[in-house]
Amino acid sequence: MSLEVVAITGSSGFLAQHLIAYLQNNATDMIKEIRAIDRKPFKKFLGYPLKIPIRHYEFDICNKLELEYALSSCTTIFHCAAKPFEFVYSEENPIDQYWHDNVNATETLVDTMQSFHIPRLIFLGDAYSMLASGDNYGLSEYMHESMPNNFMLGIYGESKARAEFVIRKATQTGSINAMILRPTFIFGEGETHLVSMAEKVCSKNGGIPVIDGDDRGNHQFIYAGNMAAIMEKSMRCLKRDAAYYNGEIIFCTDQTICTPFKNFIKPYMEAIGFEACNSVSYLRSWLSAVYNSALAKIGSKQCFGHLTLNAHRFLNGWTVGFSNRKLRLLLDFVPPFEQDEAMKQSIEWFKTNEAAKRTQTSTATTVKRPKMFARTSTTKATTPKMARKLGY
């Protein structure tokens, strides 16, 4: 069997780094080279052996000439690059970047793959992108296959949905073989988007906001190491039987149990010294979100750092759950990492790195990864500088 040359877009992001770590530990029998593509410099922050050579390419993937050079002779692409959902108000208007990073970048990637006859693509979608506003319980992949009348996550959701449609159209023409993965909230060592959002909100509120009741804002989560394992398994499935797996859409979550988002994020905020505020009713919190929405519309900076109205309803108001039946049956997938242990390790990583930042003694810390059910991962680290010297 010929070995793969794989490319990973968005390679400096935390999920891509978990993917690289998982491939280094579990896919040496299949991969001979990894090409890491990102606008940002590549900075290794997880401990893993460099068994597979890595080459880093630093450019915007909408630059087709650069992309063609980087993808030459590649056989499988992991498309992780995306502009994430912005939860809080800020000076930045993310709408243009949603379209550029999520839609235009995907179109450029697919066009390049077709031109170079690159056969396989693993696309990282979003479990919430195709959903309309409101509660959703136990959804399967066969629900909401078409565009909804409105999007739970607004313009961001639409941009991810349209990017997914670009992939689906290409799979239907037979020009590429792809699997579309739709993860729920991804957590793990190196995750900064959710925790930085929560830190801003806590700073604005003077502590951790607490909304009465556990019947709202319930969500599912997946550890980045388990998501990486799903992506690696998808690559193997596509290579083994492309006709069978091509075009499949799979929801990805560790457990079907839903957890209140406030309970998920609370340990992270406590780790940096925030304490819980007095509890308030959902109605009162919603009215506050409406007020901040009005401030945003008139251009007031007072709303900066507060949850957008859409984000407030999503995190605190709606309950959204998905079935993992297809994940278990189609991929025969069993999570290699325990969620509880992974959560503890993620919080410890956050505490350690936040302490390092505050004392200015270090900007990053390499830690061991959670123990797998069947095997453990190696944690010997090599710096990016050393990797370059070695020709990686």
DSSP code per residue over 90-136? -S---HHHHIIIIIIHHHHHHHHHHHHT--EEEEE--TTTTPPSS-E
CA distance linking residue 366 with residue 66, whole number of Å: 31
Rounded to 5 degrees, what are φ and ψ at 201?
-65, -45
Question: Can you give the pLDDT at residue 383?
Answer: 39
Question: Given this model, what pLDDT does residue 179 score?
Answer: 98
Provide the pLDDT for residue 149: 86
Which pLDDT belongs to residue 307? 95
Contact partners, residue 42, CB within 8 Å, separation at least 6 = 11, 12, 36, 54, 56, 58, 384
- Please state the pTM of the whole predicted model: 0.88
Give the pLDDT score at 135.
84
Q: What does the pLDDT read at residue 210? A: 87
Helix (H) or strand (E) holding 297: helix 282-297
Residue that is written with structure tokens 């297809």 in the block? 326
* pLDDT tens per residue across all 392 residues of the chain: 689 999 999 999 999 999 999 999 999 999 999 999 999 998 888 989 999 999 999 999 999 999 999 999 999 999 999 999 999 999 988 999 999 999 999 999 999 999 999 999 999 999 999 999 888 886 766 666 778 889 999 999 999 999 999 999 999 998 899 999 999 999 999 998 999 999 999 999 889 888 988 888 999 999 999 999 999 999 999 999 999 999 999 999 999 999 999 999 999 999 888 998 888 999 999 999 999 999 999 999 999 999 999 999 999 999 999 999 999 999 999 999 999 999 999 999 998 887 777 665 444 444 555 555 544 333 333 333 333 333 33
* pLDDT at 142 (0 to 100): 67
pLDDT at residue 390 in the model: 33
Pairing of β 218-219 and β 259-260: antiparallel
pLDDT of residue 371: 55
- pLDDT, position 304: 95
Cα Rg of the chain, angstroms = 21
The CATH number of 4-191+220-257+320-343+362-389 is: 3.40.50.720
Nearest to 172 by CA among 114, 130, 115: 114
Question: Roughly how many angstroms between the first and final C-alpha of the chain, as a whole number?
Answer: 23
